[in-house]
Amino acid sequence: MDAAAQAPFIQPIALAKAYRLLNHGPTVLVSAHHDGTDNVMAAAWACPLDFDPPKVTVVLDKATATRALIEGSGAFALQVPTRAQVHLTRGVGGESLADSPDKLVRHGVQLFRMEGQVPPFVAGCAAWLSCRVVPEPHNQQTYDLFIGEVTAAWADTRVFKDGHWTYETADPAWRSLHHVAGGHFYTIGDPVEG
């Protein structure tokens, strides 16, 4: 998706409601920038940690190039990819920048910037959370577990409006992805009230 075409639909989300962007457990894309290098990886192991100020956890293997950028910059973004981006998600999740310097181009990743934010953002996603690392060296070294405080968040109004996902009325191409293993995903399904 073209970043310029999506721009009119990107709306800021109140920080107190940012957890809702991840609460249903989607697989995310993790992006970062440091010292002239951008990268994007996929992560199924990302989760809200607190409401307000919102925090998140994400597991980042030591072998990933994105982790090095995050350690260097102290910042990352999580974004919620869509059914339309399933090949992109699998692609950036299955290759490392260390081995495939052109991986973002080959998988059709278009990046855009947000004013005042260090990480790049992936165009075409349904939502974006910009985070600063809350340094916890023991967690990072022992468990590959990173904590981030969400400092800003946005969503595309075509699939998230007035604080709620609108998967039931949005085009199915907007549905979130939920990875099981080996490139097998499920999309999010239908609403049900508890």
**Contact mark string toward its own copies, 84..123, x via CB under 8 A:** --xx-xxx-x------------------------------
Rounded Cα–Cα distance for residues 66 and 149 (Å): 18
Query: Strands 37-43 and 28-34: what pairing?
Result: antiparallel
Query: Strands 177-181 and 46-51: what pairing?
Result: unpaired
Stretch that binds its own copies, among 29-37, 48-56, 69-77, 109-117 (CB under 8 A): 48-56
Residue 94 is inside which H or E element, if any?
Answer: helix 86-94
> Which lies closer to its own copies via its Cβ, residue 67 or residue 90?
90
Residues 127-146 that bind its own copies (CB under 8 A): 136, 138-139, 143-145
3-state secondary structure of 126: coil
3-state secondary structure of 29: strand
Rule CB under 8 A: choose which of 13, 18, 26, 130 binds its own copies. Answer: 26
Question: Measuring CA to CA, which residue among 75, 77, 45 is closest to residue 59?
Answer: 45
Rule CB under 8 A: choose which of 18, 29, 44, 131 binds its own copies. Answer: 44
Rule CB under 8 A: choose which of 12, 53, 72, 189 binds its own copies. Answer: 189
Rule CB under 8 A: choose which of 74, 83, 149, 151 binds its own copies. Answer: 83
Question: Hunting for tokens 């600063």 — which residue is that?
Answer: 132
Q: What is the end-to-end Cα distance of the chain in Å, rounded? A: 35
Minimum distance between the CB of residue 26 and its own copies, rounded to whole angstroms?
6
Residues 150-169 that bind its own copies (CB under 8 A): 163-165, 167
**Close Cβ partners of 70 (under 8 Å, ≥ 6 residues apart):** 30, 32, 34, 60, 76, 133, 146
Rule CB under 8 A: choose which of 13, 29, 33, 57 binds its own copies. Answer: 57
| Contact set with its own copies (CB under 8 A) | 20, 23-27, 44-50, 55, 57, 59, 83, 86-87, 89-91, 93, 136, 138-139, 143-145, 147, 163-165, 167, 175, 177-181, 183-194
